[in-house]
């Protein structure tokens, strides 16, 4: 069986690699009905998965990655986007509060300050050395733009990635594994800013409601890879400072910085899980629009 996008159905091993779910999880989710295969061979029992199942699997993996209990995943995976976003926000707020209480206990017990030195000259030099210039190919993306504060960022963007992948999971289109967060405005605690959540896709699709489609041209970026341990607010802001300095050395940033999630999530030391990047002028002098159509979207 082959979908019109050209994607062949995936066996369990391929599905595991593409979705980030373990073979055991795929087996359990199939048995429970949470993630039903597109096909099951009546003779061998082999399971195969298509575009829609892959998009659902990646949504499940995203929810489990941030710690949402499996019971809650079952309740919310098929919920309308508004309910998913609202309930994730409530759950995430409770998790943040619980984590803050545990952190206070640890601080008292260890009597060690947990505030790192973020801007030492030696540390900055080491980060500067990790910056590189990358050239990214043109791609099509589907995106949702919202104004959020830092406390709302994780649950809101996860819900939007799930909504985008659900919209793109159709016979004549298909979401790719990656997604990105484009920070058109600064975001912080009690500092709301405009964030665009984007998922690249293949095939053909139509916009719907708040979902906007973009043709993103090829271009150059200054970029730095980060690990899961480094991707923690507010410490991660140092990477944005490094990228801003690097962009100035290349004639200045041409648009908004972004976080690119194109690697499987891993908490193993040294494993890259995201890239923080900003568009710059191409060597030839051509320019790249950091978020093509972003302002036109808000005006329409």
Domains of the chain, CATH where assigned? 12-76 (1.10.1660.10), 128-133+217-299 (no CATH)
Q: What are 264-277's pLDDT values in tens digits?
A: 888 888 999 999 99
- The reported pLDDT for the residue numbered 290 is 41
- The reported pLDDT for the residue numbered 176 is 86
d(CA 267, CA 283): 36
d(CA 54, CA 81): 19
pLDDT bracket for residue 106 (50, 70, 90): very low
User: How far lies 83's CA from each of 40, 75, 144, 207, in Å?
Assistant: 32, 11, 16, 21
Q: Which of 220, 148, 139, 224 is nearest to 184 (CA)?
A: 148
pTM of the model: 0.74
Higher pLDDT, 176 or 113: 176
pLDDT bracket for residue 283 (50, 70, 90): low
Q: Which of 262, 264, 256, 292 is nearest to 275 (CA)?
A: 262
- The reported pLDDT for the residue numbered 282 is 62
How far is C-alpha 104 from the geometric centre of its chain's CA atoms?
29
pLDDT at residue 130 above 90? yes
Averaged pLDDT score across all residues of the chain = 83
d(CA 213, CA 142): 4
Q: How are beta strands 258-261 and 179-183 bridged, if at all?
A: antiparallel
Contact in structure between 276 and 257 (CB atoms under 8 Å): yes
Share of the chain above pLDDT 90, in %: 55
- The reported pLDDT for the residue numbered 100 is 55
Where does residue 52 rank: exposed (0-12), middle (13-18), buried (19+ CB within 10 A)?
middle
pLDDT at residue 3 above 60? no
What is the average pLDDT across 149-171?
Answer: 91
Q: Which of 177, 139, 140, 137 is nearest to 161 (CA)?
A: 177
Q: Where are the beta strands (DSSP E) in the chain?
A: 39-40, 47-48, 132-136, 139-148, 173-175, 179-183, 193-203, 212-216, 219-227, 258-261, 272-280
- The reported pLDDT for the residue numbered 123 is 65
């Amino acid at each position: 069986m082959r979908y019109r996008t050209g994607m062949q159905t995936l066996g369990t091993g391929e599905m595991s690699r593409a979705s980030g779910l373990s073979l055991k999880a795929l087996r359990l989710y199939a048995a429970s009905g949470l993630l039903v295969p597109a096909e099951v061979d009546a003779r061998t029992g082999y399971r195969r998965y298509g575009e829609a199942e892959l998009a659902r699997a990646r949504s499940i993996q995203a929810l489990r990655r941030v710690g949402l209990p499996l019971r809650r995943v079952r309740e919310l995976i098929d919920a309308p986007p508004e309910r998913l976003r609202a309930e994730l926000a409530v759950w995430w707020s409770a998790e943040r509060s619980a984590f803050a209480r545990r952190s206070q206990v640890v601080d008292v017990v260890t009597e060690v300050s947990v505030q790192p030195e973020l801007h030492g000259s030696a540390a900055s030099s080491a980060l500067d050395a990790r910056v590189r210039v990358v050239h990214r190919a043109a791609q099509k993306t589907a995106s949702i733009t919202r104004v959020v504060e830092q406390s709302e960022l994780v649950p809101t963007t996860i819900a939007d990635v799930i909504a985008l992948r659900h919209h793109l999971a159709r016979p004549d289109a298909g979401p790719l594994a990656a997604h990105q967060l484009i920070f058109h405005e600064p975001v912080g605690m009690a500092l709301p800013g405009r964030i665009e959540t984007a998922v690249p896709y293949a095939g053909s699709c139509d916009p719907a409601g708040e979902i906007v489609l973009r043709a993103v041209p090829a271009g150059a970026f200054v970029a730095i890879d980060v690990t899961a341990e480094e991707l923690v607010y507010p410490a991660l802001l140092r990477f944005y400072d490094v990228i801003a300095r690097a962009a100035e050395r290349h004639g200045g940033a041409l648009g908004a910085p972004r976080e690119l999630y194109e690697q499987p999530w891993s908490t193993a030391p040294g494993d890259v899980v995201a890239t923080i990047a900003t568009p710059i002028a191409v060597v030839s002098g051509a320019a790249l629009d950091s978020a093509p159509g972003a302002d036109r979207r808000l005006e329409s």
